[in-house]
Structure 1
Amino acid sequence: TMIALTALAALAADCTVLSGASEVYMPDGPRNGVTLVLDGERIVAAGTVAFEVIGVGARWNGRNCAHVDAAGGSVTAGLIEARAQLGITEIDLEEATRDLDGGGDPVRAALRVADAYDPMSAVIGVQRTAGVTGAIIHPEGGFIAGRSAFVSLYGERQADTVVNPVVAMEATGHHGPSGGADLLALRELIDDTRAWRANQAAFERNGTRAYAASRLDLAAMLDVVDGRIPLVVSADRAADIEAFLRLRAETGIRLVIVGAAEGWRVADALAVARVPVIVDPMVYGPGSVDQLAGRADNPALLSAAGVSVTISTFGTHNARNLRQYAGNAVRAGMGHTVAIAAITSAPAAAFGLADRGRLAVGAPADVVVWSGDPLELSTVARYVWIEGAPVPLENRQTRLRDKYRTLPSTGESGP
């Protein structure tokens, strides 16, 4: 029988033994009979592990640990939302609560969205309750919006929650009157970045031609030019995806393509170029002129071709629905295990976070115990750990529910 998470936290054990789950989603697929041991911020054992249950705890490796019996449930790595603005948007229609647009010049490559991240946002706890333990947060606006970050969704300070302040460069792709103009502007920016690096001394003496961006923005773009971080671009139409793949071949930069509604038409080219995509499995058809060939089985066709597919809700307040989006991809033909990876390990790998999104020895202990199949609508998160810390499954919404469950005027229970 599972103990309440608050009781688990009260044990204050440095280690936790998690056993008995029907399915544990390991890097090589779901397995039965796997025991996990969480010690500090890491997973330190995964597989057949010797331990002894003692009361509500467990004796492992000569130490007293907390114990969670996950019988009848399943275990995955914490979910990762790859297209969110958690901690930088509180209310969509209230500009004062949106801290994601750097304003000013069209090229804002030097902007770090992590500097605006608020780990105490009330929106975060709602997503965490649904098993979302990490997110890629990204800026908006301009032509180059700035640098995205990976954040862990538990903690009160930026120092504790911003895991990597720079994981990608965000390009909005809306600079000129056409897609061709956007590609021209990107090529110019990449060329100017390389020219600036080769002529920095002359630049400081005002001895070079004018470049497409400021000094700080060009310096930030070096991470893209040198392949340390990917450039995130939006493209739904197959022709636009092909154009971005040519840009990658010409310049050698890394890409992550967002949208890819018609990606199935060029899946072979995406696979050969090893370019990951972030898709919305709820695009069933032509939602726009760029999605005329959109289809529900797009994620399935892409993954079958060997493309690394990440699934996103493309929302901040409803990132909690991430596993339901993955479930819809399975309904349309995507493999169940692949869909789990698409909301855990695939987004981590796309942004260079190789140790995240995986249940493996040495990985951060971002772990979720589910009441059943993670992709079933009726399943709930029973336990959540973020970097080894047991997370209380409460948030502003649950507190309001509990506060007003009993109607004060009559003493009657509310709905």
Structure 2
Amino acid sequence: MRNLGVVARGLRTPIIKNGDNLHDILVDTLDKIHKEDNIEFRDMDVLAITESILARSQGNYATIEQLKKDLDKKFENEIGVVFPITSRNRFSTIMNAIAQTDKKIKVFFNFPSDEVGNALFDKSLLIGKDINIYTDILNEKEYRELVGEDNRHIFTGIDYVKLYKSYRENEDIEVYFTNNPEEIAKLSDELLICNIHDRVYYKETFKKLGVKNVLSLDNILDKPVDGSGYNELYGVYGSNLSTESSIKLFPRDSQEFVEKLQKDINEKYGINMQVMIYGDGAFKDPIGKIWELADPVVSPGYTKGLEGTPNELKIKYIADTDLKDMQGEEALDAIKDKISHKDSDLVGSNASLGTTPRQLTDLLGSLSDLVSGSGDKGTPVVLIQGYFDNLASN
């Protein structure tokens, strides 16, 4: 029996820049670890590539001025900024571009936290207050009376309300705090939906409420503006701060990229390797309450073998039930036999109780995000081996 199960390795690559041939760099990287680190590749290994290096190699960037120009074209008199996340990396540059337009600006914050768990303030401040977070709307004065004049994020030390207002001269931006679309619809008839994961729901909701112009961030830079980068599917969703005056967008043509790379790798090594592009993992920090997924999807491109969800037996459940009177090799042989003969669809079965019913790409993307890290590891590519094996595999 093999003694190792899943193994995930971060792969070091050169620093990827605009115009680099990422396909060839990745082929060369695999060749080096095969020859220099004696890594053998097998069927159903997974090569996971962070979205940022694909976007950088494509030069998929945009400036504040290019963002501003697109916003000016798509809004007439006003921009109601609906449910932005509170993030310097993810939203501050977009907010800066919004503020540079000649439109009237109103910002509608979720409270007490945004959709990815960034707390605008400690929710304990609501105890004993006559405030309903589902229906009420607070203006800035009422918000400050609740939280104080200096309300900084526990991790970043930033007062995001002050930061987002600071991008316009004289801070001429109205801010409100609500989770109620009906209250927002009363105050603005031109809205930019910034919520990531419920954007379709909110667009339809505001249209039903009679709002004249409803767009979301996937409608901004969905086409190039003055030579800018763009993303026809996600617009500026999934973008990150690049410099003080520009953002890096989510990569384009991810599916085409992974399929070509898979073809070339598999022809070279005679195996069936799977390839995916990944961004944020889909997990939540138990202390800060921040949900990691600020991208529109975990994986914007992946090969066919990564479709679907796991179909696994829960070993500890079977060990405590069917195998309760067995020990040692007898129990091991019995569980191997059950795995080898498991049904092709275990949904609803007690034997799969407690297994993770998530998309394979979400699970693999989360694993890859943790392995590659977000700082100075220098491993923007992850090789995952043994993920599709089980205890009965040779």
Shared fold by TM > 0.5?
Answer: no
After TM superposition, the score normalised by the length of structure 1 is 0.29
Is the helix fraction higher in 1 or 2?
Answer: 2
After TM superposition, the score normalised by the length of structure 2 is 0.30
Larger radius of gyration: 2
